[in-house]
Structure 1
Amino acid sequence: MMDETEFLSALRTLPLHPGARQLRDDCALIEIGGETLIFNHDTMTEDVHFRPNADLADVAYKLVAINLSDLASKGAEPVGILLGHSLGGNDGRFIEGLREVTAEFSVPLMGGDTVAATGASTYAVTAVGRATSRPVPSRTSAEIGQGVFVTGPVGRAMLGFEGHPEHLANFNRPRPRLTEGRALAPLVGAMMDVSDGLLLDAFRLANASNVSLALDSTLIPVADPARADECMRWGDDYELLFTAARDVRLPVAATRIGQVEPRGFAPLVLDGEPVLNSAGLGYSHG
């Protein structure tokens, strides 16, 4: 069985739409008239992304929110969503969560598909957005000399997963940084959301931009300083990780955690130590 990296490499041998950005980014882009439409697709599976006893209202909310988080990393304004739904769970609760999240972020349902399935439940959403700034931010545009920033602390979702009451919402109902993404889009070099762990996503951004990111762990805001290393690796935080001029006046709250350097023999340098591969840096599929 292929792991995620191997599968993506195989997909890149297929004919790709120019808007696919060589499958090295979070979203696909299509130019239509004077607009740039942005597409993202995410899936959540029982026993992998949520527990079997999870409230399906939370699952529906999170499913839409994580798709909107990818749109946020492009500075996009949501247009609508398409839903893929497996019948058989508490479908009424799923609808309730879907009603809440679509109303909260003004993102209407456009259609989708419903199936009756056996085994673990799987739910998927395709989110469509409209670019508000050009060029649309990507993972590939970090520039040497820029600072590396993150919009908020990491590790809150980890603590929520473990049951800490003050952080439950961070795991069950994350908040996509849509407002922050639109404000940052004209100013950033590269930008992506933190879904699989800050260190792993920084490693990926550096590889995509063919640079090295030098991070200082003492500058990285974490939810629990006593477990800082875990906070940086756990994921599911959906903050925005981006590069920008070090002296830029940012329009949103963010912390500078490092800088972009010429590509050395490691894409990530943490506290002066080169990190040569991504194993153990965060969550990886397969």
Structure 2
Amino acid sequence: MSDPPVTEAKSGSDASRISELQKWLAARFGDAGKEVPDFEYTPRSVGYLHTLLNISEAKEKSADIVAKDFRRKAAEYRSQAARIREILESVGLAQDSLPSNVVGSAQVLANVANLLNIRDTELSSFLVAMGDISLRKSGVEEKRAKVQKESKILLDYTRKAIARLTYLKRTLAQLEDDLPPCEAQMENWKTNLQVMAAKERQYMQQCANYKAVLNRVGYSPEISHGVLVDMAEHRKELEKKTKPILDTLRSYQDLPPDKALAALAIEDKKRQYAAAEKYLEDVLHSALATSE
């Protein structure tokens, strides 16, 4: 039962705020010679515009107060100026009766006072203002020297940066010039690498084939090159020892056949041949034992 009155009160409040905003917008746009643009009055826009309205009214009140104060001070200054003018005229120092150089000097003095932002033309006020200007001048000179120093440092940094940039650009140009030959060299190396990989596969296959052949013929690691060299040397020695025997046997072929002598000679040669074979076997066994 209590909800509808609240809703009605809220709707009435929104309608009053919208009406107030419409009047305010019409007045503001009317002062600018423009018409109020069409837009939708949503709760968000109404709240935002109402905040602007409050801020505008507060600033207008502040400006009105300041303007009234300025008008009051201006009236006071005008009355004071009239009173001073009457005093000057009473003592014969009116502006019209003064020489032009005096009027010019007074105008210059007034301009200097305005420039120094002082309210009177007393000597002490000028001295204080000049001292303040001197202090500010010293501060400005210090800041200027600091800025010049920083500018010099920045200029030095800028020159170094420009030099480095120039060096980098020159290096980049050189690298770009060297890029095509390097790419060609890389392609050549790539081709050579492919060829070497193919050769490697071929040599590995050949090595596997040779190992298979060695295994098939009964090769073992004990039969090394050194062992074969020693065996070859012993073979040469045996050939030297057996050659005279062979020569003797061949000479016997030229003799007339004698069965008894031939049998004796054959038995003797068989014994010598058997002794030579046993010596060769002993040498081979000793060579194999040494290699192990």
State the TM-score bracket (shorter-chain normalisation).
under 0.3
Q: TM-score, normalised by structure 2?
A: 0.14
Which structure is higher in strand share?
A: 1
Larger Rg: 2
- TM (norm. structure 1) is 0.14
- Give 1 or 2: higher helix fraction: 2
